[in-house]
Amino acid sequence: MQELLNRIRPVTETDKELPVFSYSKLEVFKNCPLQYRYKYIEKKYSQDTSIALELGSLCHYVLEQKGRMVAAKQKVDYDKLNNILLDGVSEVDEKTKEKLLGVSQLKRKYFEVWHEADNASGASYDEKIKLFDQVLHKEMEDTEWESTYFERPFEFVWDNKVILKGFIDRIDVKDGQYRTVDYKTSKKVYEQSKLATSLQFGIYALAILNEFGVLPAESKYRFILIDDEQYALTKGWEKRLIKALDKVFGDIEASGKKEIFVPKPTPLCHWCNFCQTNPEATIYRNECEYFSKWTPTQKTFEVNKKWNALENMNPTTKRKLVF
């Protein structure tokens, strides 16, 4: 724990110039540096949305509302929660800055895919909503762990170099111990290898350490549309997390200095806003030429165009190499 404590500290007024990172920004870089460049350096933000994003935000919001009722020791008003789930909310969500549509509107907006079974869980959205209803009734009924904080914002300085910032879906407390909970709307649970040093929970653990002075006792992914759960951060994660953060920040710095952000085409391109195979991509759909041609119906390793490092080199660096 001491090694972690040596690397973090609270944000002060003098830190305002430090670059700010969230877990998802780091994850984007790890998955594809070129996507990171488009999104965070060139600031190519699009209003693209998807059924997965919209339904995810709605379910998070409904669980947050239940959490606040439980924490206030009120009787859970399931009629109110069901109304939110069905009709959404008229005010703008604080975190997403979007109006949340309810299931009845989402059903109409995404009618082509609403009744389709997904390729991983085999469930349609109607079936997933039924599972979510079960989860909603089961969650936060634990008499040992007290669900205390919801959408908890955090920020701290890592290594005197960057500010790490974000929100934790839920923090449970039991006898001075903490448990961080992240709601996932994925179609399937994670491979075990992804859990051992989860960057997301590692960062949340640092946030808990910075705020409460201890590391969390548990880190739980709760899969709310397939009613499943997994625990992250296995023995020795602290050292592995330091290594992982050093590596990702080192790689980001090196890419920035060379101005080279190499594309990493994988099946994930199909969900990238800069990829023409993504049916939900809009204004930036033709931005990337290096995309993988993989689609759920045509599983191929082919790419549209191979990356050529020399072709994409910054002219100053290229000149240095040539002469």
Interface residues with ligand SF4 (CB under 6 A) are 32, 34-35, 263-265, 268-269, 272, 274-275, 288, 290-291
Nearer to ligand SF4, 201 or 291 (CB): 291
Q: How far is the CB of 303 from ligand SF4 (least distance, A)?
A: 8
Q: Least distance from C-beta 281 to ligand SF4, angstroms?
A: 9
Secondary structure of the chain in the HEC alphabet?
Answer: CHHHHHHEECCCHHHCCCCEECHHHHHHHHHCHHHHHHHHHCCCCCCCCCHHHHHHHHHHHHHHHHHHHHHCCCCCCHHHHHHHHHHEEEEECCCCCCEEECHHHHHHHCHHHHCCCCCCCCCCHHHHHHHHHHHHHHCCCCCCCEEEEEEEEEEEEECCCEEEEEEEEEEEEECCEEEEEEEECCCCCCCHHHHCCCHHHHHHHHHHHHHHCCCCCEEEEEECCCCEEEECCCCCHHHHHHHHHHHHHHHHHHHHHHCCCCCCCCHHHHHCCCCCCCCCCCCCCCCCCCCECCECCECCCCECCCCCCCCCCCHHHHHHHHC
Q: Given the complex with ligand SF4, which of 222 and 270 has the nearer CB atom?
A: 270
Compare residues 242 and 272 and give the one whose CB is closer to ligand SF4. 272
User: In whole angstroms, how close is the CB of 36 to ligand SF4 at the nearest point?
Assistant: 9
Nearest distance, CB of residue 52 and ligand SF4, angstroms: 16
Q: Based on CB atoms, which residue is closest to ligand SF4, 163 or 268?
A: 268
| Nearer residue to ligand SF4 within complex by CB, 82 or 266 | 266
Q: Which is nearer to ligand SF4, 183 or 290 (CB)?
A: 290
Distance of alpha carbon 191 from alpha carbon 221, whole angstroms:
12
The distance of closest approach from Cβ of residue 191 to ligand SF4 in the complex, given in angstroms and rounded to an integer, is 20
For ligand SF4, the closer of residues 114 and 307 by Cβ is 307
Q: How far is the CB of 41 from ligand SF4 (least distance, A)?
A: 12
Closest approach, Cβ 251 to ligand SF4, in A, equals: 15
